[in-house]
Amino acid sequence: MLENSSEAGTTRDIVSVSFHHKGKKILIQDTAGLRRPGKITKETIESFSVIRTEQALKNSDIAVLVIDAVEGLVALDANILGEAKEWGKGIVLAVNKIDEIKEDKDEYIAKTIWQLQSKLNFAPWLPVVFISAQNEENINSLLNQVVAAFESRNTVIDEKTLNEITEHLRNKNSQLAGLTRMTQKSVNPPTFELKFKGNRVPHKTQIRYIENIIRDVFPMSGTPIFLDLAIKKDERTKIRK
């Protein structure tokens, strides 16, 4: 989601453009920048642009969220990222207007990454690119991350490797001794089914541990992964990561 104006909310129409990058056809939908909820009323034209923006996000594979380098990440940005993650979308975070930063750029980038990691600990796999739309700085790097996120979303882990990961989990973590099988159900985003002895439900910290081990082997940058717990034949619990 990219803004055409320096003020969020002033670009109401969705602008679409397609091109090729690294052999991949990319369709970008440049949507309206979302302003704070208190500034939007149901009677305004802008309220319809919010609906269109949300619909575009739901129909996309990758969401590029552009935040202001000076303003930083605000609660609304974090909420949008959370929604994109719940919908299973790939995400790339672009910190725009890096050209307006007066302090040392390396120090600013290091500080900003640390702050983002603290605020976005629910998505440690989220890539961050520092750009200047005005000067077209690092735009190629941003597109590279978009392609990488798409490829990550289509990662297929073979059965042999999944069996090895399962065995590693059982041997290294006693609380996961009851894990009997892990299979990949689908891609875009990668979704895995976990089966446990006696329909035992592992603690959420163990689910996070499983995700970390999977990502140690396949980092899958820029995409959430879903873990389904096969608790009963007709009832499954989906854990979204």
| pLDDT tens track for 189-208 | 999 999 998 877 888 999 99
pLDDT, position 40? 45
The ranges of the chain annotated as CATH 3.40.50.300 are: 15-153
E strand segments, 22-136: 24-30, 62-68, 90-96, 128-130
Distance of CA 30 to the CA centre of its chain: 18
**Which of 197, 183, 169, 180 is CA-nearest to residue 228?**
183
The ranges of the chain annotated as CATH 3.30.300.20 are: 159-240
User: Mean pLDDT throughout 77-87?
Assistant: 90
Higher pLDDT, 6 or 2: 6
| pLDDT tens track for 115-139 | 999 999 889 999 999 999 999 999 9
Query: Is residue 50 pLDDT above 80, yes or no?
Result: no
Q: For domain 159-240, say whether CATH 3.40.50.460 is its number.
A: no
Residue 84's pLDDT band (boundaries 50, 70, 90)?
A: very high
Query: Is residue 141 pLDDT above 80, yes or no?
Result: yes
CATH of region 15-153:
3.40.50.300
Provide the CB-side half-sphere exposure for 145 (13 A, CA). 23
- Ramachandran bin of 141, using left for φ above 0, alpha for ψ from -120 to 50, beta for the remaining angles: alpha
Q: What's the angle, vertex CA 239, arms to CA 233 and CA 241, rounded to 5? A: 150
